[in-house]
Amino acid sequence: MLGKSWKYTANAVGLSTVALVAAGAPGSAAAADDVLRIGAPLALTGGLADEGKKQEAVWQLWLDKVNDAGGIEVGGTTMQVEFVQYDYQTDGKRAGQLAEKLITDDEVDVLMAPFGSGHTKIVAAVAERYQVPLLACVASSVSVYDQGFQYLFGTLAPNTGMTESMTVYFKEQMPELEKVAVYGRDDVFPKAMATALANSASAAGLEVVYDQLYSVGTMDHSAAVSAIKAAEPDWVYMTGYTQDLILGRKQMEDLGVTAPIVTMVTGPAYREFTEGLGALAEGVTSSTWWHHATAYTGAIGPWSSTAAFYADFVETFEIDPDYVHGSCAAAADVLVHAVQQAGSTDNQAVRDALAETEVLTFYGSIDFGENGMNQGREMPIIQVQDEEIKVLYPAAIAGAEMKLVE
C-alpha cells in the first residue's frame, strides 16, 4: 500500500497547516497551468528519517518564503508552487516506485531526489526514463552522475576533493602524522569516501594501516575497532551514516582506542551526532559541503544572502542549519530559476535551462558540469569543540584552530 502525499502549497503557512491529500484523491493529480508541481519521495521513516525530515522542513520554510512573495513569475504569469511528497520508508526500491507514481499519477513537473547517493541513483533512473528534470541536493558520489543521465543535476560538489584537502590540512597541523586507519560503510557515498581517503593518504605518503568496509546494518563494530587499536594509527577515519558513527565512536571509547585525530564523515555535520555522543563527540573532525559561516550576498531566490537564510532558519527551528538544509533550499532556488529561464514547465526546456545554470545562491555558486554535478570548490573541514561546531578550513571562513583529541 502506498503512503499518503502531503501537498504543500504556496498558501500554506507553517508546518502545522499543510494540507493533507490522500494519494489518488480526486483533484490531487490535476496539473493546473498556473502551478509548479514539485514531487519528492522522502525518507520520513526508517534509517534515514532524520535526513529526510530535514529536507521536508527546509522545503516548507522555502515554500513559506515563496508564499510571502506571492508566488513565482514565469513567462509573465504568476505561478503557485506545490510540493507533493511520499514517505518511501528508507526503502530504495520503494523510492523508485513512488518517483514513478509522482510522475504518472500526480503529474509533477519536476522531481527532488531523496537523501543519499544510493537512493538518488534509483530515482534518477526513473526520472531519466520519463525525461523529467531531477534536482539532487544530498548526493555527492561521482558514480551517481557518470551514468549518462541527461535530466539529473546535483547541488553538492564532488566528494573526491574532500579527502585531498583534508589530508593536506591535517599534515600541516600535525607534521608527525604517519599512520591512518580507514573504516567505511559498504554503501555508495561512505564507500566512495573511504576509498578516496585511502588513496589520498597513500598519495600524501601516509601508511594506511587498516582499510576495511562494514556491511549496511552492522550493529557491532567491536572486531574492527579492536583491529584498529592493534594497528596504532595516528588518525582514525570512519565513514557511514549518523547512527553507524555514533555506535563506532562509543565502541572506540569502550575498547580504549585513542588517536590524535578522529574523523567521522559526515557525523559532526549533523546535530544528531553531537547530541547522541555528548562529550565523546569532542574533537571529532569531518568535512561538509556548506557551513553557515559563509557570507554570500546578491543571491537569487527568497534569501539574498547566507545571513538572511540563517536568520530565518534559526528563528523558525531554533537550531543551526547544516549542509542538508542549505543545499536543499538552494536546489529549490535553482529549480525555480530554471523554470523562469525556460518560461514554462516544459520538461525539455527546464532541463536545458538547468544545464545552462550559472547562478549564485545563499549556499554558494551553482554551475553544473557536463555530468550534472555542481563544480568543485573548497569544502569546509569542521571539528566539535566545546560542544559547538567550529570551521577549521578554508582560512577564509575558519573560526578556530584544530585541536588534537586528548
**Which helix (H) or strand (E) segment is 383 a member of?**
strand 381-385
Please tell me the distance from the alpha carbon of residue 284 to that of residue 268, in angstroms, as a whole number: 7
Quick check: 248 pLDDT over 50? yes
Q: Which residues of 156-186 are buried (b: 16+ CB within 10 A; e: fewer)?
A: bbbbbbbbbbbbebbbebeeebebbbbbbbe
pLDDT (average), residues 145-159:
92
Q: What is the DSSP string of 310-334?
A: HHHHHHHHSS---HHHHHHHHHHHH
Determine what percent of the chain is predicted with pLDDT higher than 70. 92
Give yes or no for residue 402 having a pLDDT over 50.
yes
Give the CA distances from residue 91 to residues 107, 108, 111, 239, in Å, rounded to whole numbers and listed in that order. 22, 21, 18, 21
Give the confidence band of 119 by pLDDT, cuts at 50, 70, 90.
very high
Q: What is the mean pLDDT of the chain?
A: 89
User: According to the model, what pLDDT value does residue 388 have?
Assistant: 87
Which pTM does this prediction carry?
A: 0.77
Where is pLDDT greater, at 138 or 8?
138
pLDDT digits (tens, 9 = 90+) for 18-36: 333 323 333 344 456 789 9
Q: What is the pLDDT of residue 12?
A: 34
Question: Which pLDDT belongs to residue 91?
Answer: 95
Closest CA to 345 of 94, 96, 80, 37: 37
**Percentage above 90 pLDDT, the chain:** 72
Buried b (16+ CB within 10 A) or exposed e, 332-358: bbbbbbbbbbbebbebebbbebbbebe
Mean pLDDT of 208-220: 96
Q: What number is the average pLDDT over the span 171-188?
A: 95
Lowest mean pLDDT among 109-123, 247-261, 376-390: 376-390
Range with lowest mean pLDDT among 181-185, 261-265, 313-317, 377-381: 377-381
- If DSSP codes are grouped into helix, strand and coil, which group holds residue 149? coil
Q: Per mean pLDDT, which of 1-5, 217-221, 318-322, 350-354 is the most reliable?
A: 350-354
CB 233 within 8 A of CB 259: yes
- Residue 5, pLDDT > 90, answer no
How far does Cα 210 stand from its chain's mean position?
Answer: 28
- Mean local confidence (pLDDT), 66-93: 93
Average pLDDT over residues 248-253: 97
Specify the pLDDT at position 259: 97
Q: Is the peptide bond before 133 cis (omega within 30 degrees of 0)?
A: no
Q: Which of 100-114, 116-130, 146-160 has the lowest mean pLDDT?
A: 146-160
Average confidence (pLDDT) over 182-192: 91
| Distance separating alpha carbons of residues 289 and 191, to the nearest angstrom | 17
Q: Which amino acid is at 184?
A: G
Task: Tell me what pLDDT residue 225 has.
Answer: 98
Cα dihedral 261, 266, 270, 275 sign = negative
Cell of 248: 563506532
Q: What is the pLDDT of residue 31?
A: 55
What's at 305, amino acid-wise?
Answer: S
Cell of 247: 555506535
Measured CA to CA, the distance from residue 135 to residue 397 in angstroms comes to: 27
pLDDT classification of 161: cutoffs 50, 70, 90: confident
* Per-residue model confidence (pLDDT) at position 22: 29
Q: How would residue 267 be classed by pLDDT, with cut points 50, 70 and 90? A: confident
pLDDT band at 166 (very low <50, low <70, confident <90, very high): very high
Q: Choose the weakest-confidence range: 230-234, 271-275, 346-350.
A: 271-275
- Summarised one tens digit per residue, pLDDT across range 350-396 is 999 999 999 999 999 999 999 999 986 778 899 999 988 898 998 88
**Cell 508552487 sits on residue:** 81
For position 376, what pLDDT does the model report? 66
pLDDT score recorded for residue 32: 64
For 250-262, the DSSP string reads HHHHHTT---SEE
Q: How far apart are CA 399 and CA 109, in angstroms?
A: 42
| Those residues with Cβ within 8 angstroms of residue 175's Cβ, 6 or more apart along the chain or in another chain | none
pLDDT score recorded for residue 26: 34
